[in-house]
Protein backbone atom coordinates (compact mmCIF):
# COMPACT_ATOMS: atom_id res chain seq x y z
CA UNK A 1 0.00 0.00 0.00
CA UNK A 2 1.22 3.46 -0.82
CA UNK A 3 1.02 5.78 2.10
CA UNK A 4 3.15 8.60 0.83
CA UNK A 5 1.91 11.35 -1.39
CA UNK A 6 1.98 10.65 -5.10
CA UNK A 7 4.34 12.63 -7.26
CA UNK A 8 2.99 15.92 -8.56
CA UNK A 9 2.93 17.18 -12.14
CA UNK A 10 5.34 19.99 -11.24
CA UNK A 11 7.95 17.45 -10.15
CA UNK A 12 7.52 15.59 -13.42
CA UNK A 13 7.86 18.79 -15.44
CA UNK A 14 11.06 19.64 -13.53
CA UNK A 15 12.50 16.26 -14.43
CA UNK A 16 11.79 16.79 -18.13
CA UNK A 17 13.47 20.21 -17.99
CA UNK A 18 16.48 18.66 -16.28
CA UNK A 19 16.65 15.96 -18.97
CA UNK A 20 16.59 18.51 -21.77
CA UNK A 21 19.28 20.60 -20.04
CA UNK A 22 21.59 17.60 -19.59
CA UNK A 23 21.03 16.54 -23.20
CA UNK A 24 21.80 20.07 -24.42
CA UNK A 25 24.97 20.09 -22.38
CA UNK A 26 26.07 16.84 -23.99
CA UNK A 27 25.36 18.19 -27.45
CA UNK A 28 27.38 21.33 -26.65
CA UNK A 29 30.26 19.10 -25.68
CA UNK A 30 29.98 17.54 -29.11
CA UNK A 31 30.52 20.96 -30.64
CA UNK A 32 27.10 22.49 -31.15
CA UNK A 33 26.51 26.12 -30.22
CA UNK A 34 24.44 26.77 -27.09
CA UNK A 35 21.35 27.79 -29.07
CA UNK A 36 21.61 24.83 -31.46
CA UNK A 37 22.15 22.41 -28.61
CA UNK A 38 19.13 23.67 -26.69
CA UNK A 39 16.94 23.42 -29.78
CA UNK A 40 18.21 19.96 -30.72
CA UNK A 41 17.74 18.62 -27.21
CA UNK A 42 14.18 19.85 -27.16
CA UNK A 43 13.48 18.39 -30.58
CA UNK A 44 14.93 15.07 -29.54
CA UNK A 45 12.72 14.86 -26.51
CA UNK A 46 9.62 15.27 -28.66
CA UNK A 47 6.34 16.56 -27.41
CA UNK A 48 6.84 17.76 -23.82
CA UNK A 49 3.18 18.63 -23.33
CA UNK A 50 2.12 15.21 -24.51
CA UNK A 51 4.50 13.50 -22.08
CA UNK A 52 3.08 15.60 -19.27
CA UNK A 53 -0.45 14.76 -20.28
CA UNK A 54 0.37 11.07 -20.31
CA UNK A 55 1.91 11.39 -16.87
CA UNK A 56 -1.17 13.20 -15.59
CA UNK A 57 -3.58 10.67 -17.09
CA UNK A 58 -1.60 7.83 -15.63
CA UNK A 59 -1.63 9.36 -12.15
CA UNK A 60 -5.40 9.64 -12.38
CA UNK A 61 -5.85 6.06 -13.50
CA UNK A 62 -3.54 4.92 -10.72
CA UNK A 63 -5.61 6.84 -8.23
CA UNK A 64 -8.71 4.93 -9.31
CA UNK A 65 -6.84 1.63 -9.33
CA UNK A 66 -5.52 2.31 -5.84
CA UNK A 67 -9.01 3.18 -4.64
CA UNK A 68 -10.32 -0.08 -6.04
CA UNK A 69 -7.49 -2.02 -4.39
CA UNK A 70 -8.11 -0.29 -1.07
CA UNK A 71 -11.81 -1.08 -1.21
CA UNK A 72 -11.17 -4.70 -2.08
CA UNK A 73 -8.68 -4.95 0.74
CA UNK A 74 -11.14 -3.41 3.18
CA UNK A 75 -13.91 -5.76 2.10
CA UNK A 76 -11.53 -8.70 2.42
CA UNK A 77 -10.59 -7.71 5.97
CA UNK A 78 -14.24 -7.33 6.87
CA UNK A 79 -15.07 -10.74 5.48
CA UNK A 80 -12.22 -12.39 7.32
CA UNK A 81 -13.10 -10.86 10.67
CA UNK A 82 -16.84 -10.18 10.84
CA UNK A 83 -16.67 -9.22 14.52
CA UNK A 84 -14.24 -6.45 13.68
CA UNK A 85 -16.48 -5.34 10.84
CA UNK A 86 -19.51 -5.26 13.13
CA UNK A 87 -17.56 -3.31 15.73
CA UNK A 88 -16.50 -0.77 13.12
CA UNK A 89 -20.01 -0.41 11.74
CA UNK A 90 -21.59 -0.09 15.18
CA UNK A 91 -18.96 2.42 16.28
CA UNK A 92 -19.53 4.52 13.19
CA UNK A 93 -23.30 4.22 13.50
CA UNK A 94 -23.28 5.28 17.15
CA UNK A 95 -20.88 8.10 16.45
CA UNK A 96 -22.88 9.46 13.56
CA UNK A 97 -26.16 8.92 15.39
CA UNK A 98 -24.97 10.69 18.53
CA UNK A 99 -23.57 13.58 16.52
CA UNK A 100 -26.80 13.93 14.56
CA UNK A 101 -28.89 13.77 17.73
CA UNK A 102 -26.78 16.37 19.50
CA UNK A 103 -26.88 18.59 16.47
CA UNK A 104 -30.66 18.24 16.25
CA UNK A 105 -30.94 19.45 19.85
CA UNK A 106 -28.44 22.25 19.33
CA UNK A 107 -30.22 23.24 16.12
CA UNK A 108 -33.60 23.42 17.79
CA UNK A 109 -32.34 25.08 20.98
CA UNK A 110 -29.64 27.42 19.71
CA UNK A 111 -29.76 27.90 15.97
CA UNK A 112 -33.39 27.94 14.88
CA UNK A 113 -35.34 30.87 16.24
CA UNK A 114 -38.51 30.13 18.15
CA UNK A 115 -41.46 30.03 15.80
CA UNK A 116 -43.07 33.09 17.35
CA UNK A 117 -43.06 36.71 16.32
CA UNK A 118 -40.61 38.79 18.36
CA UNK A 119 -39.30 35.60 19.95
CA UNK A 120 -36.32 37.47 21.40
CA UNK A 121 -38.65 39.35 23.72
CA UNK A 122 -40.18 36.22 25.25
CA UNK A 123 -38.89 35.15 28.62
CA UNK A 124 -39.75 32.37 31.02
CA UNK A 125 -40.19 33.30 34.65
CA UNK A 126 -39.52 30.90 37.48
CA UNK A 127 -39.38 31.28 41.17
CA UNK A 128 -36.67 29.64 43.19
CA UNK A 129 -38.08 27.69 46.04
CA UNK A 130 -36.01 25.78 48.58
CA UNK A 131 -33.04 25.99 46.28
CA UNK A 132 -34.78 24.46 43.28
CA UNK A 133 -36.23 26.10 40.26
CA UNK A 134 -39.79 26.13 41.43
CA UNK A 135 -42.88 27.07 39.61
CA UNK A 136 -44.97 30.09 40.20
CA UNK A 137 -47.76 30.27 42.73
CA UNK A 138 -50.97 31.52 41.11
CA UNK A 139 -51.32 34.38 43.54
CA UNK A 140 -47.76 35.43 42.74
CA UNK A 141 -48.69 35.37 39.09
CA UNK A 142 -51.56 37.76 39.71
CA UNK A 143 -49.28 40.05 41.73
CA UNK A 144 -46.58 40.04 39.09
CA UNK A 145 -49.05 40.75 36.38
CA UNK A 146 -50.44 43.66 38.29
CA UNK A 147 -47.19 45.12 39.61
CA UNK A 148 -44.26 44.19 37.36
CA UNK A 149 -43.67 47.02 34.90
CA UNK A 150 -40.94 45.39 32.77
CA UNK A 151 -43.29 42.93 31.12
CA UNK A 152 -45.73 43.69 28.37
CA UNK A 153 -47.93 40.89 29.50
CA UNK A 154 -47.62 37.82 31.64
CA UNK A 155 -49.26 34.47 30.92
CA UNK A 156 -49.16 31.33 33.03
CA UNK A 157 -49.48 27.72 32.03
CA UNK A 158 -49.25 24.30 33.59
CA UNK A 159 -48.81 21.08 31.66
CA UNK A 160 -51.60 18.76 32.65
CA UNK A 161 -52.67 15.64 30.75
CA UNK A 162 -56.38 15.23 30.08
CA UNK A 163 -58.66 12.36 29.30
CA UNK A 164 -60.51 13.03 26.08
CA UNK A 165 -63.93 11.38 25.78
CA UNK A 166 -66.94 11.93 23.61
CA UNK A 167 -68.02 10.12 20.46
CA UNK A 168 -64.60 8.63 19.79
CA UNK A 169 -62.73 6.24 21.98
CA UNK A 170 -61.15 7.74 25.08
CA UNK A 171 -57.65 9.06 24.77
CA UNK A 172 -54.99 10.68 26.90
CA UNK A 173 -54.04 14.06 25.51
CA UNK A 174 -51.04 16.22 26.36
CA UNK A 175 -52.92 19.12 27.79
CA UNK A 176 -51.99 22.53 29.11
CA UNK A 177 -53.94 24.75 31.44
CA UNK A 178 -53.31 28.34 30.42
CA UNK A 179 -54.35 31.80 31.36
CA UNK A 180 -56.64 33.33 28.69
CA UNK A 181 -53.92 35.69 27.44
CA UNK A 182 -51.51 32.78 26.75
CA UNK A 183 -51.84 32.94 22.96
CA UNK A 184 -51.66 36.69 22.69
CA UNK A 185 -48.40 36.70 24.67
CA UNK A 186 -46.93 34.45 21.98
CA UNK A 187 -48.54 36.51 19.28
CA UNK A 188 -49.90 33.49 17.44
CA UNK A 189 -53.21 33.45 15.58
CA UNK A 190 -55.49 30.42 15.50
CA UNK A 191 -55.86 28.54 12.25
CA UNK A 192 -59.54 28.16 12.88
CA UNK A 193 -62.00 29.80 15.28
CA UNK A 194 -60.51 31.90 18.03
CA UNK A 195 -58.24 31.52 21.01
CA UNK A 196 -59.14 32.09 24.61
CA UNK A 197 -58.40 35.81 24.68
CA UNK A 198 -61.95 37.07 24.72
CA UNK A 199 -62.99 34.51 27.28
CA UNK A 200 -65.21 35.88 29.97
CA UNK A 201 -64.20 33.80 32.94
CA UNK A 202 -67.42 33.72 34.84
CA UNK A 203 -68.48 30.95 37.14
CA UNK A 204 -70.99 28.69 35.47
CA UNK A 205 -69.68 29.21 31.91
CA UNK A 206 -68.68 26.09 30.03
CA UNK A 207 -64.93 25.73 29.84
CA UNK A 208 -63.29 26.32 26.50
CA UNK A 209 -60.41 24.56 24.81
CA UNK A 210 -58.12 25.11 21.83
CA UNK A 211 -56.94 22.07 19.86
CA UNK A 212 -53.55 21.53 18.32
CA UNK A 213 -53.44 20.96 14.59
CA UNK A 214 -52.30 17.36 14.98
CA UNK A 215 -55.01 16.48 17.49
CA UNK A 216 -57.60 18.14 15.25
CA UNK A 217 -56.41 16.15 12.24
CA UNK A 218 -56.06 12.87 14.08
CA UNK A 219 -59.13 12.78 16.27
CA UNK A 220 -61.56 15.07 14.48
CA UNK A 221 -60.44 14.40 10.88
CA UNK A 222 -59.69 18.07 10.32
CA UNK A 223 -63.37 18.93 10.29
CA UNK A 224 -64.14 22.65 10.43
CA UNK A 225 -67.40 21.80 12.15
CA UNK A 226 -65.55 21.05 15.36
CA UNK A 227 -65.64 24.73 16.34
CA UNK A 228 -68.37 25.24 18.88
CA UNK A 229 -68.78 21.53 19.45
CA UNK A 230 -68.71 20.08 22.91
CA UNK A 231 -66.10 17.45 23.76
CA UNK A 232 -65.60 15.63 27.03
CA UNK A 233 -62.39 16.51 28.82
CA UNK A 234 -61.88 14.63 32.04
CA UNK A 235 -65.60 13.85 31.90
CA UNK A 236 -66.55 17.48 31.76
CA UNK A 237 -68.17 19.11 28.70
CA UNK A 238 -65.84 21.61 27.11
CA UNK A 239 -66.47 23.78 24.05
CA UNK A 240 -63.85 23.73 21.31
CA UNK A 241 -63.28 27.34 20.37
CA UNK A 242 -60.25 27.16 18.09
CA UNK A 243 -57.51 25.18 16.33
CA UNK A 244 -53.88 26.30 16.28
CA UNK A 245 -51.64 26.18 13.19
CA UNK A 246 -49.37 23.09 12.84
CA UNK A 247 -46.19 24.80 14.09
CA UNK A 248 -47.62 25.89 17.41
CA UNK A 249 -47.31 23.10 19.98
CA UNK A 250 -45.87 24.98 22.96
CA UNK A 251 -45.08 23.78 25.59
CA UNK A 252 -43.60 20.42 24.59
CA UNK A 253 -45.88 18.80 22.08
CA UNK A 254 -49.07 20.19 23.53
CA UNK A 255 -52.32 18.98 22.00
CA UNK A 256 -54.96 20.79 23.96
CA UNK A 257 -55.03 24.12 25.72
CA UNK A 258 -57.66 24.73 28.36
CA UNK A 259 -58.46 28.02 29.98
CA UNK A 260 -57.54 28.06 33.62
CA UNK A 261 -60.46 29.04 35.72
CA UNK A 262 -60.19 31.85 38.06
CA UNK A 263 -61.05 29.58 40.91
CA UNK A 264 -58.44 27.11 39.76
CA UNK A 265 -55.84 29.81 39.72
CA UNK A 266 -56.69 30.92 43.18
CA UNK A 267 -57.79 27.67 44.70
CA UNK A 268 -56.48 26.06 47.79
CA UNK A 269 -53.21 26.91 49.42
CA UNK A 270 -52.04 29.06 46.52
CA UNK A 271 -53.82 31.95 48.11
CA UNK A 272 -50.99 31.99 50.59
CA UNK A 273 -48.56 32.26 47.65
CA UNK A 274 -47.32 28.75 48.11
CA UNK A 275 -46.10 27.03 44.99
CA UNK A 276 -48.61 25.06 43.11
CA UNK A 277 -46.86 24.24 39.88
CA UNK A 278 -47.35 26.93 37.31
CA UNK A 279 -44.74 28.17 34.92
CA UNK A 280 -45.19 31.52 33.39
CA UNK A 281 -44.28 32.93 30.09
CA UNK A 282 -44.11 36.62 29.75
CA UNK A 283 -43.32 39.15 27.16
CA UNK A 284 -41.10 42.07 28.01
CA UNK A 285 -42.64 45.36 27.14
CA UNK A 286 -40.97 47.22 24.34
CA UNK A 287 -38.16 49.68 24.91
CA UNK B 1 29.14 10.44 -31.18
CA UNK B 2 25.89 10.55 -33.15
CA UNK B 3 27.46 8.57 -35.90
CA UNK B 4 24.20 7.15 -37.13
CA UNK B 5 21.26 9.15 -38.46
CA UNK B 6 18.30 9.01 -36.16
CA UNK B 7 15.91 7.65 -38.78
CA UNK B 8 18.13 4.64 -39.47
CA UNK B 9 17.74 3.42 -35.93
CA UNK B 10 15.37 0.69 -34.80
CA UNK B 11 12.32 1.73 -32.89
CA UNK B 12 11.88 -0.27 -29.73
CA UNK B 13 9.46 -3.17 -29.73
CA UNK B 14 6.46 -2.76 -27.54
CA UNK B 15 7.21 -3.79 -23.97
CA UNK B 16 10.99 -3.96 -24.31
CA UNK B 17 11.74 -0.50 -22.93
CA UNK B 18 11.01 -1.56 -19.34
CA UNK B 19 13.43 -4.45 -19.63
CA UNK B 20 16.17 -2.24 -21.07
CA UNK B 21 15.71 0.36 -18.32
CA UNK B 22 16.02 -2.30 -15.62
CA UNK B 23 19.13 -3.72 -17.24
CA UNK B 24 20.72 -0.28 -17.54
CA UNK B 25 20.13 0.38 -13.85
CA UNK B 26 21.76 -2.90 -12.81
CA UNK B 27 25.15 -1.22 -12.35
CA UNK B 28 24.01 1.72 -10.33
CA UNK B 29 21.72 4.72 -10.25
CA UNK B 30 21.17 6.88 -13.29
CA UNK B 31 19.02 9.82 -14.30
CA UNK B 32 16.61 9.66 -17.23
CA UNK B 33 18.90 11.19 -19.81
CA UNK B 34 21.70 8.88 -18.68
CA UNK B 35 19.44 5.85 -19.10
CA UNK B 36 18.47 6.90 -22.63
CA UNK B 37 22.08 7.45 -23.60
CA UNK B 38 23.24 4.19 -22.00
CA UNK B 39 20.62 2.18 -23.89
CA UNK B 40 21.61 3.85 -27.12
CA UNK B 41 25.31 3.28 -26.56
CA UNK B 42 25.10 -0.31 -25.38
CA UNK B 43 22.92 -1.17 -28.38
CA UNK B 44 25.79 0.15 -30.50
CA UNK B 45 23.58 3.00 -31.60
CA UNK B 46 21.10 0.60 -33.15
CA UNK B 47 18.18 1.45 -30.91
CA UNK B 48 16.33 4.73 -30.90
CA UNK B 49 15.02 5.60 -27.49
CA UNK B 50 12.09 7.97 -27.64
CA UNK B 51 12.88 10.33 -24.79
CA UNK B 52 9.23 11.30 -24.48
CA UNK B 53 8.26 7.67 -23.96
CA UNK B 54 11.05 7.05 -21.47
CA UNK B 55 9.51 9.00 -18.61
CA UNK B 56 6.09 7.36 -18.60
CA UNK B 57 7.93 4.03 -18.57
CA UNK B 58 10.08 5.15 -15.64
CA UNK B 59 7.01 6.32 -13.81
CA UNK B 60 5.29 2.99 -14.47
CA UNK B 61 8.25 1.03 -13.09
CA UNK B 62 8.38 3.33 -10.08
CA UNK B 63 4.69 2.75 -9.39
CA UNK B 64 5.27 -0.98 -9.65
CA UNK B 65 8.04 -0.68 -7.08
CA UNK B 66 10.71 -2.00 -9.47
CA UNK B 67 12.71 1.20 -9.15
CA UNK B 68 12.92 4.08 -6.71
CA UNK B 69 13.74 7.66 -7.54
CA UNK B 70 15.41 10.51 -5.73
CA UNK B 71 16.43 14.00 -6.72
CA UNK B 72 20.17 14.47 -6.77
CA UNK B 73 22.96 16.31 -8.53
CA UNK B 74 24.46 15.07 -11.80
CA UNK B 75 28.19 14.90 -12.59
CA UNK B 76 27.80 18.29 -14.28
CA UNK B 77 26.29 19.76 -11.14
CA UNK B 78 22.79 19.75 -12.48
CA UNK B 79 19.68 18.78 -10.55
CA UNK B 80 18.38 15.47 -11.85
CA UNK B 81 16.11 12.69 -10.71
CA UNK B 82 18.10 9.52 -10.16
CA UNK B 83 16.62 6.05 -10.48
CA UNK B 84 17.75 2.96 -8.64
CA UNK B 85 16.83 -0.71 -8.93
CA UNK B 86 14.98 -2.27 -6.03
CA UNK B 87 15.04 -5.91 -4.95
CA UNK B 88 11.72 -6.34 -6.69
CA UNK B 89 13.20 -4.72 -9.80
CA UNK B 90 16.12 -7.16 -9.81
CA UNK B 91 13.75 -10.13 -9.70
CA UNK B 92 11.69 -8.58 -12.49
CA UNK B 93 14.85 -8.10 -14.56
CA UNK B 94 15.88 -11.75 -14.17
CA UNK B 95 12.41 -12.96 -15.10
CA UNK B 96 11.99 -10.64 -18.07
CA UNK B 97 15.51 -11.32 -19.36
CA UNK B 98 14.97 -15.07 -19.55
CA UNK B 99 11.57 -14.49 -21.08
CA UNK B 100 13.09 -12.23 -23.73
CA UNK B 101 15.92 -14.65 -24.53
CA UNK B 102 13.43 -17.46 -25.05
CA UNK B 103 11.37 -15.20 -27.26
CA UNK B 104 14.38 -14.13 -29.32
CA UNK B 105 15.57 -17.73 -29.71
CA UNK B 106 12.10 -18.91 -30.71
CA UNK B 107 11.74 -16.17 -33.31
CA UNK B 108 15.24 -17.09 -34.53
CA UNK B 109 14.12 -20.70 -35.02
CA UNK B 110 11.14 -19.55 -37.05
CA UNK B 111 13.16 -17.20 -39.22
CA UNK B 112 15.83 -19.82 -39.84
CA UNK B 113 19.64 -19.64 -39.72
CA UNK B 114 21.15 -16.20 -40.01
CA UNK B 115 22.79 -15.53 -43.33
CA UNK B 116 26.29 -14.24 -43.09
CA UNK B 117 26.80 -10.63 -44.21
This model of the complex carries an ipTM of 0.77
Interface of B with A (CB under 8 A): 1-2, 31-34, 37, 50-53, 55-56, 59-60, 63, 74, 76, 78-81
Nearest chain A Cα distance for residue B98, angstroms? 29
Transcribe chain A into DSSP letters.
---SPPPPHHHHHHHHHHHHHHHHHHHHHTT--HHHHHHHHHHHH--HHHHHHHHHHHHHHHHHHHHHHHHHHHHHHHHH-HHHHHHHHHHHHHHHHHHHHHHHHHIIIIISPPSSTTGGGEEEE-EEETTEEE---HHHHHHHHHH-SSEEEEEEEEE--EEE-SSS--EEE-EEEE-TTHHHHHTPPPSEE--STT----TTSPEEEEE-HHHHHHHHTT-GGGTT-EEEETTEEEEEEEE--TT--TTTT--EEEEPPHHHHT-GGGGGT---S-EEEEEEPP-
For A14, name the nearest residue in chain B, comparing CA atoms only. B80
pLDDT at A176 over 50: yes
Most confident segment among A55-59, A177-181, A222-226: A222-226
Question: What span, in angstroms and rounded, lies between the C-alpha atoms of A148 and A280?
Answer: 13
Beta bridge partners of A257: A176, A210
For A8, name the nearest residue in chain B, comparing CA atoms only. B59
A92 has a chain B CB within 8 A of its CB: no
Domains of chain B: 6-108 (1.10.10.10)
Contact: A55, B2; criterion CB under 8 Å: no
Question: What span, in angstroms and rounded, lies between the C-alpha atoms of B17 and B53?
Answer: 9
pLDDT at position B84 is 93
What integer is the mean pLDDT of A85-95?
A: 94
Going by C-alpha positions, the residue among B20, B91, B88 that lies closest to residue B54 is B20
pLDDT digits (tens, 9 = 90+) for A110-159: 777 666 777 677 777 777 766 666 666 777 777 777 787 777 777 778 77
Lowest mean pLDDT: which of A38-52, A89-103, A133-147, A163-177? A133-147
Domain extent listing, chain A? 9-80, 119-284
Kindly report the backbone phi and psi dihedral angles of residue A235, in degrees, each rounded to the nearest multiple of 5, phi listed first: 80, 5
Question: What span, in angstroms and rounded, lies between the C-alpha atoms of A24 and A41?
Answer: 5
Q: Are B89 and B62 in contact (CB under 8 A)?
A: no
Residue A29 CB: number of other CB atoms within 10 A? 11
Q: How many CA atoms lie within 13 A of B53 on its CB side?
A: 12
pLDDT digits (tens, 9 = 90+) for A215-248: 899 888 888 888 888 888 888 888 888 899 888 8
Residue B41 CB: number of other CB atoms within 10 A? 12
The residue of B72, B81, B82, B83 whose CB has the most chain A CBs within 10 angstroms, and thus the best one to mutate to test that interface, is B81
Q: Between B2, B56, B78, which is nearest A21 by CB?
A: B78
Confidence of residue B95 (pLDDT cuts 50, 70, 90): very high
- Is there a cis peptide before residue A84, judged by omega within 30 degrees of 0? no
CA A231 from centroid of its chain's CA atoms: 34
Terminal-to-terminal C-alpha distance of chain A: 67
Contact: B31, A12; criterion CB under 8 Å: no
Predicted TM-score (pTM) of this structure: 0.45
Contact: B55, A51; criterion CB under 8 Å: yes
Amino acid sequence: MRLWRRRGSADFAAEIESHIAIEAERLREEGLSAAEAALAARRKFGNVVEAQERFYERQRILWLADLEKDLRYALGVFRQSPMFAITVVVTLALGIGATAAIFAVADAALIKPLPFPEAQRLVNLYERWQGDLGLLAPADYLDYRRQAKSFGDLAAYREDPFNLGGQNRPERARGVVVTPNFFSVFGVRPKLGRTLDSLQDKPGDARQAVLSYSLWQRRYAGSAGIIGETVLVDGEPVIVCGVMPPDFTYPGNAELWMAARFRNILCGPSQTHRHRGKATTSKLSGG
Amino acid sequence: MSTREEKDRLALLQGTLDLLILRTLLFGRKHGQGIARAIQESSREELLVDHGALYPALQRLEDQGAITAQWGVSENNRKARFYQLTQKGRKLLVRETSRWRRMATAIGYVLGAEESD
